[in-house]
């Protein structure tokens, strides 16, 4: 890593820390409290991103059913609409056009530096691990190679 990249990495680490300290921690805690209380009351259905990635159609049908949309023809029509937003059905060119949805607003090098800065931020990762466990996710691997 050259000096410019090192400076950029430090700037990104400073930005991650600043966001965490000013709004990130509070936002994560408030959102988590809302989600866990809603799940406990049965007010919402937990839809995991990895389930959408693994089986988009089945996950969407589960979602529709939670909304009391159970008529098969209606579910099929809604599924046709929803499939337009399934990233697994999009080409690389289509994904590149939707950087605000796909996380590709930055090049791979910058994304790797952001990922590394987040994983290196112990208070943030400790909070994320705790919340992930409480929501039934496998705990994020802090040692996973960035990028």
Interval 64-81: pLDDT, tens: 999 999 999 999 999 999
Residues 58 and 97 in one domain: yes
54 and 97 both lie in a single domain: yes
* Contact residues for 47 (Cβ-Cβ < 8 A; gap 6+): 59, 62, 63
Residues 54, 80 within the same domain: yes
In terms of residue numbers, what domain contains 31?
A: 1-44+113-147
- What's the token pair of residue 47? 């839809």
Question: pTM higher than 0.75 for the full model?
Answer: no
Position 126 scores a pLDDT of 95
Say yes or no: 100 and 51 in one domain: yes
Given phi > 0 = left and psi -120 to 50 = alpha, else beta, which region is 68?
left
Same domain flag for 36 and 54: no
Q: Tell me the average pLDDT of the chain.
A: 88
- pLDDT of 1 reads 67
User: Residues 92, 123: one domain?
Assistant: no
pLDDT in tens, 2-20: 788 888 889 999 999 999 9
Examine the domain organization and report whether 56 and 14 are in the same domain: no
The answer, yes or no, to whether residue 134 has pLDDT greater than 90, is: yes
Together in a domain, 53 and 39: no
Number of folded domains that form the chain? 2
Comparing CA positions, the residue from 100, 99, 67 lying closest to residue 82 is: 67
51 lies in the same domain as 68: yes
Instruction: Tell me, yes or no, whether 87 and 117 share the same domain.
Output: no
């Amino acid at each position: 890593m050259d000096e410019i990249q090192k400076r950029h990495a430090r700037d990104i680490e400073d930005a991650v820390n600043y966001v965490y300290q000013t709004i990130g921690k509070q936002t994560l805690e408030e959102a988590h409290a809302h989600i866990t209380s809603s799940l406990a009351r049965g007010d919402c259905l937990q839809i995991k991103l990895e389930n959408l990635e693994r089986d988009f159609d089945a996950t969407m049908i589960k979602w529709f059913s939670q909304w009391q949309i159970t008529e098969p023809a209606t579910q099929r029509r809604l599924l046709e609409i929803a499939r337009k937003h399934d990233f697994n059905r999009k080409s690389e060119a289509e994904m590149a056009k939707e950087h605000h949805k796909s996380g590709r607003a930055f090049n791979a090098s910058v994304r790797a530096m952001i990922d590394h800065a987040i994983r290196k931020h112990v208070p943030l990762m400790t909070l994320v691990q705790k919340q992930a466990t409480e929501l039934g996710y496998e705990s994020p691997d802090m040692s996973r190679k960035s990028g």
